[in-house]
Amino acid sequence: MRHVAQDGTDRLDDQAFAEWLAGRAGAALTALRDQQGFADPAALKDAGDRRSHELLTTALGRWRPADAVLSEEQADARRAWSAGERADRLDAERVWIIDPLDGTREFSEAGRTDWAVHVALWRRSAGPDGGLVAGAVGMPARTTLDGGQLVLGTGCPTPPPADGPIRIAVSRSRPPAFVDELVQLLDAQAVPMGSAGVKVCAVVTGEVDAYVHAGGQYEWDSAAPVAVALGAGMHASRIDGSPLRYNRADPRLPDLLVCRPDLADPLLDAIARTGVEMPASAVTGSPGQAFG
Ligand SMILES: Nc1ncnc2c1ncn2[C@@H]1O[C@H](COP(=O)(O)O)[C@@H](OP(=O)(O)O)[C@H]1O
Ligand SMILES: [Mg+2]
């Protein structure tokens, strides 16, 4: 007999399910922050990573049991697999790529709202390299007009162009080495904030015009945010303009540009002019391939 969940989660489509999951994990993280407080930031970070990972993987196991999962908090998540020994996800049709707590540092600082939960679904059949087909970024410490926690999915509108200098979101703690030069070249402003998901969502809502990162990141840091950005008609690519590819044997995906489409060429040109070393592993092609 088919199991029918009382809360109806097995009837949700993948996008609605991703949003629901991000919201559930976000509520658990908010409760944890309230219970535990900020006296021991390291303990709070660990507890947050663990609780959200457990909640997400338990829910995925229950409602999407046939699917593979790539989570930052899995023991072998960072392993680069070789041909001889493969993770299950490398042969799976459907892989949930999740970051249970992005912006962990900010999560452990009182008063900060720039941390997020990332839930994305990648499908092999979505393109020649597979593609992202659903994604949600939950920002549990930020609220909607009716007081609920803010969760962005793939149905956001494209923000209109803004006047004034280009505002570029960058990491608070590990901005790309070329940011000062980039800002000078474009007469732009750097806007530091935590969490890759929060920065991409800031582009989607028009709070900033672009997010640039380089120097290190993994697939889970950008998969769900990039699904949200592509769904809103944004440009998303590596910093040399090549496509972002997910569910690779090596999960490192160290650089990223997300911006309004009209800014992609000027930003990619300016990044190249800084003389930054371009990603050797990137392949050429259309950035749109990432969203199936
Ligand atoms: N140089 C680097 N190497 C590895 N991961 C990095 C990195 N810079 C940023 N990240 C990761 O990208 C996410 C967003 O970073 P930031 O808030 O600095 O913009 C964080 O994820 P987690 O919080 O999930 O670890 C962080 O660990
Ligand atoms: Mg992360």
pLDDT means per 10 residues, the chain with 292 residues, are 50 92 98 98 98 98 97 94 88 98 98 98 96 98 92 96 94 97 98 98 98 98 98 98 97 97 97 88 44 40
How many A from CA of 132 to the centre of ligand 2? 17
One domain for residues 149 and 171: no
**Distance, C-alpha 6 to centroid of its chain:** 30
One domain for residues 14 and 137: yes
Q: Are strands 210-213 and 68-71 parallel, antiparallel or unpaired?
A: unpaired
Identify whether 282 is part of a domain. no
Does the annotation place 99 within a ligand binding site?
Answer: yes
Identify whether 104 is part of a domain. yes
Per-residue pLDDT at 157: 96
One domain for residues 241 and 177: yes
Identify whether 158 is part of a domain. no
Q: Report pLDDT digits (tens) over 61-93.
A: 999 999 999 999 999 999 999 878 889 999 999
CATH number at residue 218: 3.40.190.80
One domain for residues 132 and 234: no
Closest ligand to Cα 198: 1
One domain for residues 49 and 104: yes
Per-residue pLDDT at 247: 98
Q: Which of 71, 105, 171 to mutate to test the pocket of ligand 1 (most atoms within 8 A of CB)?
A: 171
One domain for residues 36 and 115: yes
The residue to which tokens 């390291």 are assigned:
42
Does the annotation place 101 within a ligand binding site?
Answer: yes
Identify whether 120 is part of a domain. yes
Largest CA distance in the chain: 64
What's the rounded Cα separation, in Å, for the pair 162 and 119?
Answer: 29
Helices (H), the chain: 14-36, 41-63, 104-107, 179-186, 196-204, 219-231, 264-273
Q: Rounded to the nearest 10 degrees, what angle do helices 14-36 and 41-63 cross at? A: 150
Identify whether 194 is part of a domain. yes
Per-residue pLDDT at 227: 98
Among candidate residues 97, 131, 153, the one where a domain is terminated: 153
Among candidate residues 153, 177, 204, the one where a domain is terminated: 153
Q: Please report the ipTM that was assigned to this predicted complex.
A: 0.99
One domain for residues 22 and 100: yes
Helices (H), 78-218: 104-107, 179-186, 196-204
| Amino acid, single-letter form, for residue 202 | A
**Binding pocket residue ranges, ligand 1, CB within 6 Å:** 72, 99, 102-104, 171-174, 194-196, 215-217, 221
Q: How many domains does the chain have?
A: 2
Question: Which pair of structure tokens corresponds to residue 11?
Answer: 């009837």
Helices (H), 64-194: 104-107, 179-186
Among candidate residues 127, 153, 179, the one where a domain is terminated: 153
Question: Which pair of structure tokens corresponds to residue 21?
Answer: 């999951």
One domain for residues 113 and 237: no
Identify whether 281 is part of a domain. no
Which strand ranges, in their side-by-side order, compose the sheet holding 189-193?
189-193, 167-171, 210-213, 256-259, 235-237
| CA nearest neighbour of 246 among 232, 226, 265, 264 | 226
One domain for residues 17 and 81: yes
Q: Please report the atom of ligand 1 found closest to the CA of residue 171.
A: 19
Specify which residues 193 forms β-bridges with: 171
One domain for residues 24 and 120: yes
CB-facing half-sphere around the CA of 228: CA atoms within 13 A: 32
Does the annotation place 72 within a ligand binding site?
Answer: yes
CATH number at residue 101: 3.30.540.10
How many A from CA of 99 to the centre of ligand 2? 6
Q: Which residues contact 201 (CB under 8 A, 6 or more apart)?
A: 116, 137, 139, 152, 225, 228
Coil vs helix vs strand at 211: strand
One domain for residues 173 and 137: no
What's the rounded Cα separation, in Å, for the pair 225 and 139?
Answer: 11
Q: Which of 109, 112, 221, 258 to mutate to test the pocket of ligand 1 (most atoms within 8 A of CB)?
A: 221
One domain for residues 255 and 134: no
What's the rounded Cα separation, in Å, for the pair 115 and 136?
Answer: 14
Q: Which residues contact 149 (CB under 8 A, 6 or more apart)?
A: 23, 26, 27, 30, 138, 139, 140, 141, 142, 143
Closest ligand to Cα 112: 1
Report the predicted TM-score, pTM, of the whole model to 2 decimal places.
0.93
- Which residue puts its alpha carbon closest to atom 19 of ligand 1? 171
Per-residue pLDDT at 6: 54
- Structural domain containing residue 76: 10-153
Identify whether 183 is part of a domain. yes
Identify whether 283 is part of a domain. no
Does the annotation place 221 within a ligand binding site?
Answer: yes
Does the annotation place 250 within a ligand binding site?
Answer: no
Per-residue pLDDT at 231: 98
Question: Which pair of structure tokens corresponds to residue 78?
Answer: 């960072």
DSSP track, 122-136: EEGGGSBTBEEEEEE
CB-facing half-sphere around the CA of 84: CA atoms within 13 A: 0
Per-residue pLDDT at 7: 57
